[in-house]
């Protein structure tokens, strides 16, 4: 073979690049040479000439960066629609984590040797990347935690136990994830604070009018989701902050379903605390982060005691480091935090606005196709010209249990969706159901995959209907 053909390389977030070479030469790419994931590059033989007429979609440009997507499950090509639970990881993140453990695995902040210095530099670089990603005023406003759940618990057991007293009120909604409910139940029991829940409107979104009317001098905290992991709805956070500040209440935002999918600016939102998890935004599991306003973090007591979070230790007392070190006791998840930094790099290169716009389009397609099936009941608001939905749909089918649907889709079609209460049992009770099916998309999903899911769901309905 000579250099008579052009091979079109689809290389993830970098877009499409055309390269020509003969069998005796190869692309000069260190990543390709050392990659353990040869599926990363997909070559198509095309004739040289004008550029392709169709502009490649975002999924076309990024899909090859995710090795896990290119496999068969139960004899079918995998269709992964469980992104609200956890997203997949691009090769750049996998390589970054492996590089840490292969090349400079060492503890951070404490060593003066080269490996420790390198690990510390990369760990703190990841903090700066996260701060920039959410537009935090300072990287010192970012605390690494195990996940968003631990970040919420950190706020509950530091700010909550320090500031709440008998009769103070915490406002939540009935649509919250368990991780935003249970910690405040525990703290309320210890402090005598009162939990107040706002319900849903007829459109199945958190009732903002009820929230506004519930605010009072007794309100100390409003804790809400940014985007619901079941309803696909988005709360008007800026308004909530404006209303809450009139009463001196703090606002804690669960941004697990927004930070991975759209531009999020903590300064524009005005929230006091924000939490998110790495594994939902192309990063590794075992690490998340808390954003807190500098003055609030500075006034908070430690969350856990041990090494790293101290200034000095004596036999009968200790003094503590400034934030964020005060809240990162012991050896942190170093490789995972560095991997999160790589995920932020990857998402930033694509562009969060671009991701959001793509997902708005594919979300509308999923909702339209799913709502056209008569037996399906979708939860959450309808899509209108004034209202977007997140790229997920939770639904049920008449006379078929959610778990049976998810199992059939997996075993008979290789389609991964989630079934159950999605850590929102109060919401499911409010809706009068004990479980639902959830199909959730990310920027690497395609309309072809949505079509496969819809056809498989119709097949599932037909199967169970014929066996009832």
Catalytic residues: 423
State the residue for tokens 């631990």.
Answer: 150
Q: Which of 285, 138, 152, 163 has the alpha carbon at shortest distance from 218? A: 163
Please enumerate in sequence order all residues whose Cβ is within 8 A of that of 245, keeping only pairs 6 or more positions apart, or say none: 270
Q: Residue 203: in which H helix or E strand, if any?
A: none
Residue 327 near residue 143 (C-beta atoms within 8 A)? yes
The CA distance from 106 to 316, in Å, is 31
229 HSE (CA, 13 A, CB side): 29
CA angle 109, 114, 115 (to 5 degrees): 70
DSSP line for 140-183: GGEEEESSHHHHHHHHIIIIIHHH--TT-EEEEETT--HHHHHH
The CA distance from 122 to 190, in Å, is 40
3-state SS class at 217:
coil
> What are the DSSP E strand ranges found in 215-353?
219-225, 250-254, 273-277, 288-292, 310-313, 318-320
Crossing angle of helices 402-413 and 447-466, in 10° steps, is: 120
Torsion of CA 100, 103, 109, 113, to 10 degrees: 180
105 HSE (CA, 13 A, CB side): 6
Residue 366 near residue 395 (C-beta atoms within 8 A)? no
Residue 119 near residue 109 (C-beta atoms within 8 A)? no
Beta bridge partners of 419: 437
Q: Where are the alpha helices (DSSP H) in 41-143?
A: 58-62, 91-103, 114-133
Residue-wise burial string across 451-462, b where 16 or more C-beta atoms lie within 10 A, e elsewhere: ebbbebbeebbe
Beta bridge partners of 418: 438
């Amino acid at each position: 073979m000579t250099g008579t053909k052009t091979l079109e390389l689809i290389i993830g977030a970098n877009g499409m690049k055309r390269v020509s070479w003969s069998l005796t030469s190869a692309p000069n790419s260190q990543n390709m040479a050392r990659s353990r994931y040869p599926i990363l590059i997909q070559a198509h033989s095309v004739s040289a000439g004008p550029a392709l007429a169709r502009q490649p979609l975002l999924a076309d440009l990024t899909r090859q960066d995710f090795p896990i997507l290119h496999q068969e499950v139960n004899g079918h090509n995998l269709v992964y629609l469980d992104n609200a639970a956890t997203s997949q990881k691009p090769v750049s993140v996998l390589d970054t984590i492996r590089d840490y453990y292969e090349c400079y695995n060492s503890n951070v902040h404490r060593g003066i040797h080269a490996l420790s210095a390198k690990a510390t530099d990369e760990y703190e670089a990841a903090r700066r990347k996260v701060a920039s990603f959410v537009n935090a005023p300072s990287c010192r406003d970012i605390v690494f935690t195990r996940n968003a759940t631990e970040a919420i618990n950190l706020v509950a057991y530091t700010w909550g136990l320090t500031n709440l007293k008998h009769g103070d009120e915490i406002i939540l909604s009935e649509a919250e994830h368990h991780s935003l409910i249970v910690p405040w139940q525990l703290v309320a029991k210890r402090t005598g604070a009162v939990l107040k829940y706002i319900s849903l409107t007829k459109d199945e979104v958190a009732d903002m009018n009820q929230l506004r009317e519930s605010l009072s001098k007794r309100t100390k905290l409003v804790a809400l989701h940014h985007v619901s992991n079941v309803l696909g709805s988005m709360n008007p956070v800026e308004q909530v902050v404006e209303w809450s500040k009139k009463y001196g209440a703090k606002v804690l935002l669960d941004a697990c379903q927004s930070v991975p999918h759209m531009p999020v600016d903590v300064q524009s939102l005005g929230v006091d605390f924000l939490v998110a998890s790495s594994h939902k935004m192309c990063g590794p599991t075992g690490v998340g982060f808390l954003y807190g306003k500098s003055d609030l973090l500075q006034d908070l007591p430690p969350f856990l005691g041990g090494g790293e979070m101290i200034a000095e230790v004596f036999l009968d007392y200790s003094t503590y480091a400034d934030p964020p070190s005060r809240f990162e006791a012991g050896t942190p998840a170093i490789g995972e935090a560095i991997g999160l930094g790589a995920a932020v790099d990857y998402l930033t290169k694509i562009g969060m606005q671009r991701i959001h716009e793509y997902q708005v389009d594919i979300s509308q397609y999923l909702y339209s196709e799913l709502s056209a099936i008569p037996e399906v009941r979708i939860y959450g608001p309808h899509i209108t010209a004034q209202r977007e939905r997140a790229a997920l749909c939770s639904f049920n089918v008449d006379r078929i249990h959610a778990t049976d649907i998810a199992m059939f889709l997996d075993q008979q079609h290789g389609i991964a969706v989630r079934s159950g209460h999605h850590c929102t049992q109060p919401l499911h009770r409010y809706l009068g159901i004990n479980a639902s099916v959830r199909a959730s998309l990310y920027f690497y999903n395609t309309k072809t995959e949505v079509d496969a899911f819809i056809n498989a769901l119709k097949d599932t309905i037909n199967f169970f209907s014929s066996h009832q």
